[in-house]
Chain A
Amino acid sequence: MLANFLIGLREGLEAALVVGILVAYLARLNRRELLPALWSGVAVAVGVSLAFGALLTFGPSGLGFEAQEALGGTLSILTVGLVTWMIFWMARTARHLKGDLQHELDGAVAVGRRAVLVVALMAVGREGLETALFLWSGAQATGRGSAAPLVGAALGLAVAVGLGWALYKGSIHLDLRKFFGWTGMFLVLIAAGVLAYGVHDLQEAGVLPGLGSLAFDVSRAVPPTSWYGTLLKGVFSFSPETTWLQAVVWVLYVVPVMTFFVRIAWARPRAGAPARPQPTAVTAA
């Protein structure tokens, strides 16, 4: 039960954290009217994943390995694109902030209903099919008389959602600039992990080479089935056996994006002199 609990936790964690951050954004930006769009994105992703997973589990045909890897790899890379866009949008937002003046955001930040919906959809949908297949295999085991695997998996997912909620609660009271700065840096690391994970999928599918050449193997120190291995994998997509290509792609993503983000989001605005003159800022000062 514990092992299945940890799988459920790992599968749900990254999506729960991204959605938690997204909910916190909308709350901080006073854009709560966009929350229904966000939740419908989540609902569509969950619904499609469960339906498709059920079709593959109970239907007449299974899904070929290549197709599953191609889908996983494609969704991962699309997700990285969307999250990166979200990071840059946050960097711009953070730059416009002077202290904690909420109303200044109203003009500076335009985020559409569609964008919110699609980010939520992809964050949940990326690992959705894999998670659905795992859950349905638990349901099959329940049919054979053992509910423990399904209960374990469901509890793991519930804890993941709880942690996403805790992140939302914890970050909601941060100073607004700090909020954008920290959650943005966190997202850069999440996105880099997803990218490296997608690369590994494509290596396994044989689209990219180098599956056998490992940059490092710490699976002895960080067993993938341990609770800390689970957390590292769930949050940062950390793989204890990382290939050179994964490592290189991870670094090539993190270094420029993190540098760019920190320089923009954490640049200290000189008191009374905003980076860009704005009518509202002038009247406020």
Chain B
Amino acid sequence: MPSAARAALPLGVGLVLLAAVGGCASHASPGAAPGAGATTRTITVTSSADACRLSATTAPSGSLTFSVSNAGGDVTEFYLLRADGTVVGEVEDIGPGLSRDLVVQAGPGSYTAACKPGMTGEGVRQPFTVTDSGTPVPSLQSSTETDAS
């Protein structure tokens, strides 16, 4: 189906753009030193109607995976926020009984983790600390959280 293949171009372009952006958590970080600290840390998060339980409230800087499961009866979402309230990462539409991952590149600093059952309001918040692991953190933005190193 040559015409279909040709029209797949926009999506293809999107995927290439993705690769260029370097968003894949474990592979696409050529700058990351192999060995200690290069692996992805996983923090499990359990969101319920009135609680947001994290398996750890501190993690070393680098690539972090928040594995968020919804134990409540309403749709939930999870945010990692910087001290100034801007969003580091967010995963939404976690239906009851589902579990979804949020992958972020986080530099050292103080953050806030928030579960938002019902996907509205401030949500259930708690502090989250990222310590300096020495791993360089790739960032797209004129990052507020990484001291450009």
Could you mark each residue 4-36 of chain B with 1 if its beta carbon is under 8 Å from any beta carbon of chain A, else 0?
A: 101110110011011001111111100000000
Bound Cα distance from A113 to B3, whole angstroms = 9
Bound Cα distance from A205 to B104, whole angstroms = 12
When the two chains form their complex, are residues A62 and B8 in contact, meaning their CB atoms are under 8 A apart? no
Instruction: Of the listed stretches A129-137, A160-168, A242-250, A271-279, name the one at the interface; the rest are far from the partner chain.
Output: A129-137
Specify which chain B residues have a CB less than 8 angstroms from the CB of A241 in the assembled complex.
120
Does any Cβ of B come within 8 Å of A3's Cβ?
Answer: yes
Q: Which of A68-88 contact B (CB under 8 A)?
A: 68, 70-71, 74-75, 78
* Interface residue range, chain B: 35 or more
When the two chains form their complex, are residues A48 and B90 in contact, meaning their CB atoms are under 8 A apart? no
When the two chains form their complex, are residues B17 and A3 in contact, meaning their CB atoms are under 8 A apart? no
When the two chains form their complex, are residues B3 and A37 in contact, meaning their CB atoms are under 8 A apart? yes
Could you mark each residue 1-19 of chain A with 1 if its beta carbon is under 8 Å from any beta carbon of chain B, else 0?
A: 1011011000100000000
Bound Cα distance from A209 to B118, whole angstroms = 25
When the two chains form their complex, are residues B10 and A78 in contact, meaning their CB atoms are under 8 A apart? yes
When the two chains form their complex, are residues B14 and A41 in contact, meaning their CB atoms are under 8 A apart? no
Closest to A75 in B: B14
Q: Which of A28-84 contact B (CB under 8 A)?
A: 37, 40-41, 43-45, 48, 52, 60-68, 70-71, 74-75, 78
Could you list some 18 contacts between A and B, CB below 8 A?
A: A3-B74, A3-B95, A4-B97, A11-B93, A41-B7, A60-B27, A65-B23, A65-B89, A65-B103, A65-B104, A67-B18, A67-B21, A67-B23, A113-B3, A114-B3, A114-B6, A137-B99, A152-B95
B residues apposed to A, CB below 8 Å: 1, 3-4, 6-8, 10-11, 14-15, 17-18, 21-28, 40, 63, 65, 73-75, 85-91, 93-105, 118-121, 140-141
